[in-house]
């Protein structure tokens, strides 16, 4: 849980930096660690606390909220400086501005297929989970199969919708959601329907606050309307608590697609709300 929490936070900060939504917080943390030449071990939360608090005020979503049972773990300077620079855009093989969230979700499937275990002598081993060993490996849902199923179910239901309020009445549930690959595809279809709906109608003054037109004339949804779609329409359950946390993170990252720093801070000013929703009632372990 601690490993996943730490990686989730740095992955989220990398998304913000790669998409130029926020400054590169990971670089700030690396610089702070490098400047403290005498210290060889860190409680990572203490080094990151100011950044976590700042990001939590903007984004919420429980990603950066304090978790005492996981946060006060000591990590060596050597380990941190071996890992953290690889998140920086200039060093990274991956640019999360262009990597689709669905691809990231499939990567997480592989992560969820492993468990970290301590052995005698405090050694750490990484093993496949029992269910993965039994199945002979992690199995992925190919994108074309995901899209086909969503097209034959949700897309068909959307044909009966005439208003945005009609869309909000739809409830989609994945009873074994894993890392959220189906729910991300569903969410994308709902977002695209909403964009097309508002693109073809005369906007009221209230609707003009919920969508915006960029300099190229393309219509985008605010995070507020994306939150509303997510909270009203999408539900998931999984037996694996780590999978549940990954699904929440992936759906939250989907909100941040096609959004800029200025738009996020303008939205906070307009609606006095954090950007990401609390998903504890939508995505559950069970």
pLDDT digits (tens, 9 = 90+) for 5-20: 898 999 999 999 999 9
Average pLDDT of the chain to the nearest whole number: 89
Q: Output the pLDDT for position 80.
A: 92
Please state, as a whole number, how many other Cβ atoms lie within 10 Å of the Cβ of residue 56: 17
Q: What is the pTM of this model?
A: 0.88
Q: Of 91 and 117, which is predicted with more confidence? A: 91
List of residues 6+ apart from 14 with CB closer than 8 A:
26, 87, 89, 92, 96
Q: Output the pLDDT for position 115.
A: 84
Q: Cα separation of 202 and 65, whole Å?
A: 41
| Residue 229 in this model has a pLDDT that exceeds 80 | yes
The 3-state DSSP class for residue 169 equals coil
């Amino acid at each position: 849980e601690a490993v996943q929490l730490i990686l989730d936070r740095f992955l989220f900060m990398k998304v913000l930096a790669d998409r130029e939504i926020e400054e590169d917080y990971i670089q700030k943390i690396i610089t702070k660690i490098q400047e403290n030449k005498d210290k060889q071990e860190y409680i990572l939360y203490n080094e990151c606390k100011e950044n976590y608090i700042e990001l939590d005020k903007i984004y919420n979503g429980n990603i950066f909220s304090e978790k005492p049972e996981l946060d006060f773990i000591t990590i060596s300077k050597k380990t941190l400086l071996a890992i953290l620079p690889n998140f920086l855009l200039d060093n990274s093989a991956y640019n999360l501005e262009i990597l689709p969230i669905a691809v990231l979700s499939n990567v997480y499937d592989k992560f969820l297929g492993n468990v970290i275990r301590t052995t005698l002598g405090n050694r750490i081993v990484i093993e496949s989970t029992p269910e993965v060993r039994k199945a002979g490996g992690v199995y992925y849902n190919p994108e074309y199969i995901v899209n086909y199923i969503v097209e034959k179910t949700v897309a068909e239901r959307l044909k009966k919708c005439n208003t945005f309020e009609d869309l909000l009445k739809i409830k989609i549930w994945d009873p074994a959601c894993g890392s959220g690959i189906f729910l991300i595809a569903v969410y994308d279809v709902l977002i695209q329907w909403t964009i097309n709906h508002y693109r073809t109608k005369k906007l009221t003054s209230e609707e003009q606050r919920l969508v915006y037109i960029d300099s190229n004339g393309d219509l985008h949804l605010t995070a507020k309307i994306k939150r509303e779609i997510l909270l009203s329409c999408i539900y998931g359950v999984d037996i694996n608590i780590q999978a549940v946390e990954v699904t929440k993170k992936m759906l939250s990252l989907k909100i941040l697609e096609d959004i800029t720093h200025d738009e996020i801070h303008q939205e906070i000013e307009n609606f006095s709300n954090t950007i990401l929703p609390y998903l504890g009632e939508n995505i559950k372990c069970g």
